[in-house]
Amino acid sequence: MHEKFQQLIKRFSGQSVWDAESKQAVRTKLIQHMDAHPIKQRSFWTRLLSNRALAVGLAAIVLIVAGGGTVYACTDAQPGDALFGVRIHVAEPMVLAFTFDDEDKADIELAQTESRLVEWEQLQISGNTEAAEQHQKLFDEKLARLKDRIAKLESQGKNDKALEIAVRAEASISTHEHIVAIDNDEDGDGHAEVNLTSETNGSNSHVSIHSSAEASVKAGDTEVFKDQAQRRIDQASTMIAEVRAYITANANKLNAELKTKAESELDDAQKKLDDAKKALQDSKFSDSIILSANASADAQRVKILVNVAVRTDNAFFDDHQDNHDIDPDKLEEEIRSRVQDKLDKIFDDQDFPGIDDD
Amino acid sequence: MKQDVEEQFLRAYDDLSEPLYRHLYFRVYRRERAQELLQDVFMKTWNYLAAGNQVDNLKAFLYRVANNLAIDESRKKKEHSLDQLLADQPKLEPVSDDGKHPEKQLLIEQIFKVVDEFEEPDRSILVLRYHDDLDPKEIAVVLKISANNVSVRLHRAHERLKIIFNKDDNAREISTID
């Protein structure tokens, strides 16, 4: 029956002839319009990103790096991990770059600052003094940016948000000082040799973010520590669950030995987490936080190993049976090479007229 | 590069302006308005290109712009009656001695009746398929939906057309008996 419909339409269409004069008149107007609106020259990157196919390709690369399988090795990569550099120089700035609301940016910058703080804390606890000192610089940079963000919120009249961010940041720093103080208080005199330099970074903010060691233990901190302990437990719990799910989802890609080893290490992390929960119930907040931090670190190590094995079909792992022998440089090179392969493929598959014309 | 884009664009105008005009005329039933919309189609497309954007399939892009403008137009003019639309068409043919155009009017009424049975995007799919002779893959690009979706919708539209035309045939038979 659509033939009947087609016939009707064709009869109609046959009568709607456009005369050549009108066609030429519109063409003339069009040329005038084109002259009045010439093609703009755009930067290489703008044009690159305006190409939908390429933008999707680049987004895919970002996802490869910041999401998908490698998410386990990147977005939560820790100092010393091969992908830690990718995390702080690519993934985190990209998240900020694609966030346009100042309040949302503040939340993200706070989360990133807290991450640097926790990482620094773990390095200090592990006794890696040199790495801790290096990491302190990253924290200081983040904190300086956060202070600027708080000042910007205040200048916009968003005082409530500015205060909220400042209070949360201060609570995190205070908790960190307390933990590190306990860890460093080997002689039991109650005084830790901790030097936090965040105050020296300067800030335009009217909201003070205290970071002196003296601020760490004082009345009223109990609720803060309790809250922080619960947050660390939640974080560790989430990480362990994610890694377990990742192992399950990729079980067919892992060799039996690695799978068993990963699950065993994850069980150990779970035990530490259970101890952390118990410590919280017993109001031993500092113990709870340290146990959670250790559980997170264990789970983190497992996920990196599993991820590497999955992405390299175990080949890379087979060469490094002992997980502590993994060479970060080699791992980084491996991942970089794979990302480059994917980029090459995208560029090979696409035709980008004009990109090389400038 | 600039020159290439300009040449390609003007070539597209030379090749596609007539079928696009017919498409728009079919959608708005008024010559002058169809021509204005056609001009809009090409100017908007040029603005998009001039802003440095890239269009992989210029034909599909032009049909997409035309289709969107036609849909906007029909929304704006929804309140206009068929009589009003017909009154706006001074150049319709064939014209009878009394200055009216009954054949054309009947034809438009028939088409209106059928097309009005369909909502978007099925309406656009039918027009692009049977008026503009675009294949499902091209229609998919124009409407930004999958070719499979276009085929499924076309199949359903065919079923519906059967019912509509059968109903018409039956009505005609009944009126003949009367």
Cα-Cα-Cα-Cα torsion B34, B35, B41, B46, nearest 10 degrees, comes to 180
Higher pLDDT, A334 or A193: A334
pLDDT tens across A117-131, in order?
888 877 777 677 788
> What confidence score (pLDDT) does residue A67 get?
45
Closest CA–CA distance from residue B58 to any residue of chain A (Å): 14
Provide the percentage of residues in chain A whose pLDDT is more than 90: 6
Q: Return the minimum-mean-pLDDT range out of A6-10, A151-155, A264-268.
A: A6-10
Residue A204 contacts B, CB cutoff 8 Å: no
User: What residue has token string 């712009």?
Assistant: B65
Write the CA distances from A244 to A72, A218, A238, A252, A293, integer angstroms: 11, 39, 10, 14, 18
> What confidence score (pLDDT) does residue A339 get?
53
Which residue out of B43, B89, B116 would a mutagenesis test of the A interface target, given it has the greatest number of A Cβ atoms within 10 Å?
B43
CA distance A228 to A175: 7
Residue B108 contacts A, CB cutoff 8 Å: yes
Higher pLDDT, A353 or A1: A1
Asked if A42 and B22 come within 8 Å (Cβ–Cβ), the reply is no
Higher pLDDT, A63 or A230: A230
Higher pLDDT, A288 or A126: A288
Interface predicted TM-score (ipTM) over 0.85: no
**What b-and-e string marks burial along A132-167, b requiring 16 or more CB atoms within 10 Å of the CB?**
beebbebbbebbbbbbbbbbbbbeeebeebbebbbe
The amino acid present at B156, given as its one-letter code, is: R
Residue A38 contacts B, CB cutoff 8 Å: yes
Closest CA–CA distance from residue B39 to any residue of chain A (Å): 6
Q: Which of B35, B108, B164 sits opposite A22 (nearest CB)?
A: B35
Which residue of chain B comes nearest to A1, CA vs CA?
A: B162
Residue A35 contacts B, CB cutoff 8 Å: no
Higher pLDDT, A69 or A196: A69
pLDDT tens across A166-215, in order?
877 877 777 677 666 655 544 443 333 333 333 333 333 333 443 333 33
Residue A100 contacts B, CB cutoff 8 Å: no
> What confidence score (pLDDT) does residue A222 get?
67
Q: What is the mean pLDDT of chain A?
A: 68
Q: Which of chain A's residues have a Cβ under 8 Å away from the Cβ of B25?
A: 16, 18
Higher pLDDT, A325 or B158: B158
Q: Return the minimum-mean-pLDDT range out of A227-231, A247-251, A312-316, B104-108.
A: A312-316
Residue contacts between A and B (CB atoms, under 8 Å): 107
* Average pLDDT estimate for A23-28: 93
CA distance A225 to A284: 9
Q: Cα–Cα–Cα angle for A40, A46, A49, nearest 5°?
A: 130
Q: Which of B5, B104, B161 sits opposite A15 (nearest CB)?
A: B104
> What confidence score (pLDDT) does residue A2 get?
66
Q: Which of chain A's residues have a Cβ under 8 Å away from the Cβ of B89?
A: none
pTM of the model: 0.41
Count of helices and strands (H, E) across chain B: 8, 0
> What confidence score (pLDDT) does residue A115 get?
84
Asked if A34 and B46 come within 8 Å (Cβ–Cβ), the reply is yes
Handedness of CA A41, A44, A47, A50 (dihedral sign): negative
Which CATH number does B1-80 carry? 1.10.1740
* Average pLDDT estimate for A112-117: 86
Per-residue pLDDT of chain B (178 residues; tens, 9 = 90+): 667 888 999 999 999 999 999 899 888 878 889 999 999 999 999 998 888 788 888 999 999 999 999 888 877 765 554 555 555 554 444 433 444 466 666 767 777 778 878 888 898 998 899 888 899 999 999 998 888 889 989 888 888 888 887 776 665 554 444 4
CA A127 centroid distance within chain:
26
Q: In CATH, which of 3.40.50.300, 2.40.10.10, 1.20.1270.360, 1.10.10.10 is domain B95-178? A: 1.10.10.10
pLDDT tens across A30-39, in order?
999 999 888 8
Highest mean pLDDT: which of A39-43, A238-242, A267-271?
A: A267-271
Residue A27 contacts B, CB cutoff 8 Å: yes
Residue A37 contacts B, CB cutoff 8 Å: yes
Residue B2 contacts A, CB cutoff 8 Å: yes
> What confidence score (pLDDT) does residue A130 get?
80
Domain ranges of chain B: 1-80, 95-178
Higher pLDDT, B137 or A252: B137
CB A65 within 8 A of CB A312: no
> What confidence score (pLDDT) does residue A5 get?
78
Burial degree of A27 (CB within 10 A; 0-12, 13-18, 19+): middle
Q: Which of B50, B114, B165 sits opposite A38 (nearest CB)?
A: B50
